[in-house]
Chains A and B, each alone.
Chain A
Amino acid sequence: MTRPAPDTFARRLIACLDVRAGRVVKGVHFEGLRDAGDPGALAARYDAEGIDELVVLDVTATAEDRLALARTVSAVAANVFIPLAVGGGIRSVDDAARVIDAGADKVGINTAALGDPSLISRIAGRFGSQAVVVAIDAKRDGDRFAVCSHAGRTPTSWDAVAWAREAQARGAGEILLTSIDADGTLRGFDCPLTAAVSGAVGIPVIASGGAGAPSHFVDVFSAGRADAALAASIFHDEKCSVRAIKAALQMHGLPVRL
């Protein structure tokens, strides 16, 4: 009798550092930012705790902050040897090149890709699909999920599933899917949203928004069919550790990197 090969592919945990002017900040529902520390120091701490990947997100993304962002990326990249994605205000191939030169492995694009979807294929053409993460902020609207731009403030006519498919067709390597409704609530990921998008594309989907307890990660990797899960505030506040989340996943038979 042959048994199926064991699934060894680790479910990825990603810590997001929302930065503004070189400092980590945190907020609820995309608003009301508070200071949460030094990006380089936090990155080193998460790395030591066993985080699988880091995201640095410039939450204000003004012109002067983009220069600060390159310095922040260098500071984060200096001492960690795990994948690093950077997003916020990336509007061109040159913007992408600047953060990749500073040490990013991937760039996240959102509003600019909605405005000009060819940005996805142009960055993928220059740096490879593995370097392009299309970030989608989605809000429930009846029985559909509406994509919003401009840090969640502006509704678009795109449905999240359709936009994820379009992004994949244009060369995105991964989708970072944030539920605007769940973000900051600590009441769990939006599993139906995640499952709908993850089931519709062949590229990895990172679930984001709503993590508040280890069980939420178990839910989003099983019911939500996520390939990776991202959180910010629960890690900053030390509400639950990377280790506690990985232990919960392992207990439910989900492989993790220990």
Chain B
Amino acid sequence: MIALVDYGAGNLASVRKALRACGADVLEPAAPADLDRAAAIVLPGVGHFAATASLDESWRSAIRGCLEAGVPFLGICLGMQWLFEGSDEAPDVPGLGWLPGRITRLPDRTPEGDRLKVPHAGWNLAHATERSPVPGLQDGAYFYFTHAYAAPVTDATAATTMYGSPFASAVRRGLVCGVQFHPEKSGAAGLAVLGAFVGGVR
């Protein structure tokens, strides 16, 4: 059973639909204690980082406990950003701090001085890094993004995407994965990521 955590931040229905299309048995835990029975956790999300404040201390410690126990985890968009220490979008709201680094606003200029639209809304390429790729993430495939803030490129980066400058479009540390794009909205390339995650859960 894959636990899809609902904290009121958006794309739950789309993610549930896509996970089920990949053959997953999806349940939405009503309380942190329900995560005890989860074979894997998906943390979705879209919108403002402040929404992650709904993940209060009881959720944080339950999720942290699962990650320490080696339960596979996939964070999507805000759910990935939450793995980091925090975000400039909501400086008072701490992230989980599982990965080092802070989420910062995307630049509105390229290094050459050309204007960039923010949010980064649309399809862009993900370049998988060799170190620790996210299963199912095809190097050089297009994925759908919609975000104004992004994670820095660090040791945990599993894929980078270029929007003026490079940012981490996927992260991985062990069985903990995160994607900045929306695999539930990225056609076949996105379903391949979700399918590999579902397939790895037994």
Contact = CB atoms under 8 A, between A and B. Distances in A.
Interface of A: 4-10, 12, 47, 52, 77-78, 81-83, 101, 103, 105, 127-131, 173-174, 202-204, 227-228, 257-258
B132 interface: no
Grouping DSSP codes into helix (H, G, I), strand (E, B) and loop, the A interface class, with mixed when no group exceeds half, is loop
A161 B21 CA distance: 42
Contacts of A128: 10, 46-48, 51
Given A10-B124, A81-B186, A204 B142 contact: no
Nearest to A79: B21
A4 B119 contact: no
B98 interface: no
Interface stretch (B11-19, B24-32, B171-179): B11-19
Contacts of A10: 122-124, 142
B124 A8 contact: yes
A38 B62 CA distance: 46
B142 A4 contact: no
Nearest to A199: B115
B82 interface: no
B144 A82 contact: yes
B163 interface: yes
B16 to A, nearest CB: 11
Contacts of A7: 162
25 contacts: A4-B111, A4-B112, A5-B110, A8-B162, A9-B120, A9-B162, A10-B142, A52-B122, A81-B18, A81-B185, A81-B186, A81-B188, A103-B13, A103-B14, A127-B10, A128-B10, A128-B48, A174-B121, A202-B117, A202-B118, A203-B121, A204-B117, A204-B122, A227-B121, A228-B122
Nearest to B185: A83
Interface in B142-162: 142, 144, 146-148, 161-162
A258 B185 CA distance: 15
Contact of B122 (A81, A103, A227): A227
B187 to A, nearest CB: 6
A202 B108 contact: yes
Interface in B83-142: 108, 110-112, 115, 117-125, 142
Contact of A130 (B146, B163, B184, B190): B146
Nearest to B183: A81
Nearest to A102: B13
B10 A83 contact: no
A129 B119 contact: yes
Contacts of A5: 110-111, 162, 164-166
B191 interface: yes
Given A82-B185, A105-B11, A203-B117, 15 more contacts: A5-B110, A5-B164, A7-B162, A8-B125, A8-B162, A9-B120, A9-B124, A10-B123, A52-B122, A52-B123, A78-B17, A128-B51, A129-B47, A130-B147, A174-B121
